[in-house]
Amino acid sequence: MDPVAPLVPHYMVKSKSPVDAGQPSNAEYMKFDIPPTDSFRKNEEERIFTSFKESMVQVWQGPGKLDQADGVGNHPNINAVKDLPSRPFEMPDGWNQVFGIERFRVAEGLFDAKAALTVCSVHG
């Protein structure tokens, strides 16, 4: 996904200013004389992933598969998702993005092997 979302935990952000969706964050970061441990940072990063997953990822409830064609090349389920309101998500440093169909694609690979994300599809 472009642009890549910055993964800056809450404890690293001293202050932030609002920015438009997809724009780089405008934040001031904390400076520590003794930085927190790597395990603490990983735990805090995991909290961000969990927050994203629980507030953004959504499973297509059907009918059929998300990318299922109707026989004449149309994808009615994708069109139905495009008509749903998008959802914004803000990272702790203020970077934010609005997610539409992407929030369905994340989970689709669990139910449709052809829709699974692979390392090659993620890294280009």
Q: What is the CATH number of the domain that holds 100?
A: 3.90.640.10
d(CA 16, CA 19): 9
1, part of any domain:
no
Helix (H, G, I), strand (E, B) or coil at 13: strand
Q: State CA 52 to chain mean position distance.
A: 6
Backbone φ, ψ for residue 83 (5° rounding):
-80, -15
Q: What is the pLDDT of residue 89?
A: 95
Contact, 84 vs 50, CB < 8 A?
A: no
Mean of pLDDT over the chain? 87
Q: What is the pLDDT of residue 1?
A: 46
Count up the domains in the chain and report the number: 1
2, part of any domain:
no
3, part of any domain:
no
Helix (H, G, I), strand (E, B) or coil at 88: strand
pLDDT in tens, 38-84: 999 999 999 999 999 999 998 888 777 888 777 787 888 888 888 88
Banded pLDDT at 3 (limits 50, 70, 90):
low
